Amino acid sequence: MKHSLKLEPISSWLPTASKPVIISGPCSAETEEQTIATAKQLAATGKIHALRAGIWKPRTRPGQYEGAGEPGLQWLAAAKKETGLPITTEVANAAHVEAALKAGVDILWVGARTTVNPFSVQEVADSLKGVDIPVMVKNPINPDLELWIGALERLNKAGITKLAAIHRGFSSFEKGPFRNAPMWDMSIELKTRIPELDIICDPSHIAGNRDLISLISQKALDLDMAGLMIESHINPDAAWSDAKQQVTPAVLGKIVEGLVVREVSSDNKSFKDTLSILREQIDQLDDEIMSKLASRMKISEKIGQYKKENNVTILQVNRWEEIMQTRITLGKAMGLNEAFTQELLKLIHNESIQIQTGVMNKVAERV
């Protein structure tokens, strides 16, 4: 279902920015010297379109550095004066909004911990009524697309039309190579529902590790995201928060310089003709896949009926393990990624279980 929002693109509120838009600065504004020095070095790269710094830092546990508070806004304002670049910071409540606006902050963003709470988002939205300022909204910590869209809608209803989303990944119990699971499908679905919405990627928070930032940044651009928010610090290893995911301004410049920016489409006739043929082949194969899946589920329905008649449980663990082992082996032989095959089989199996459960319950209701 598509959502209708009244939006102005990033190009209207950062008119000097080329694609991709690059927003960078330290995770936290720690001191005036650190904030301004980082900003000046970033500006010198010629790659930055806006400066960022955390002023209020909601930490997972108490005792960690929680930001400079309002004094840090003045450091950020001084960095703006030194570089001429617009500045942005995170706000989580009405008091933050009031202080940021008073200090001349150009762009606000709503953090992941705030997006997850509609009460907090509404407070921010109410405090921005009648204010013409760009606002970026990070995805909620948990993978809930409705919360993300809801936050955007609340701000839009308050009159904020200069809106963008920030994809920063999602918390997960499973420990992988990233601090936060990218779950790119969430941002793709958001763009599908709100095509006119610009999305910026935050590779720093997805990675949690500076060595992965370049990889994630390129992936984001390949998915047609409008820009990147990358954390940068003059001395990352000595940073008071999120040290491992920050890079120096010089490294930031090299990362941006190494990115490949691709076009959404091409005017080349040969490209369009070839793409059209390949897409037609995909459509035909998708039709076949859907037909085969429908046939498979009809057989699952018959199996459910037969199990009921013979008083047999739906789940047959040995059979499921056999399917997983043989199909994954077959998939590997055909060049399919093992993780993809595993997830696909899980989806099919879960649907089969649901169908058989429905058959069991329907029979039971008649008795």
From first to last of the 367 residues of the chain, give the pLDDT tens digit: 667 899 999 999 998 777 899 999 999 999 999 999 999 999 999 999 999 999 997 766 777 777 889 999 999 999 999 999 999 999 999 999 999 999 999 999 999 999 999 999 999 999 999 999 999 999 999 999 999 999 999 999 999 999 999 999 999 877 778 999 999 999 999 999 999 999 999 999 999 999 999 999 999 999 999 999 999 999 999 999 999 999 999 999 999 999 999 887 778 888 888 888 888 899 889 989 999 999 999 999 999 898 888 988 888 888 889 999 999 999 999 999 999 999 999 999 999 999 999 998 874 444 3
- For residue 357, how many other CB atoms are within 10 A of its CB? 13
Half-sphere exposure of 150 (CA within 13 A, CB side): 14
68-to-106, 111, 228 alpha-carbon distances in Å:
19, 17, 25
Rounded Cα–Cα distance for residues 335 and 122 (Å): 49
Task: Kindly report the pTM of this predicted structure.
Answer: 0.81
260: exposed, middle or buried (C-beta count within 10 Å: 0-12, 13-18, 19+)?
A: exposed
Q: Which two tokens stand for residue 200?
A: 């910026």
Cis peptide before 203 (omega within 30 of 0): no
Residues in the chain, overall count: 367
Q: Which two tokens stand for residue 46?
A: 């010629």
129: exposed, middle or buried (C-beta count within 10 Å: 0-12, 13-18, 19+)?
A: exposed
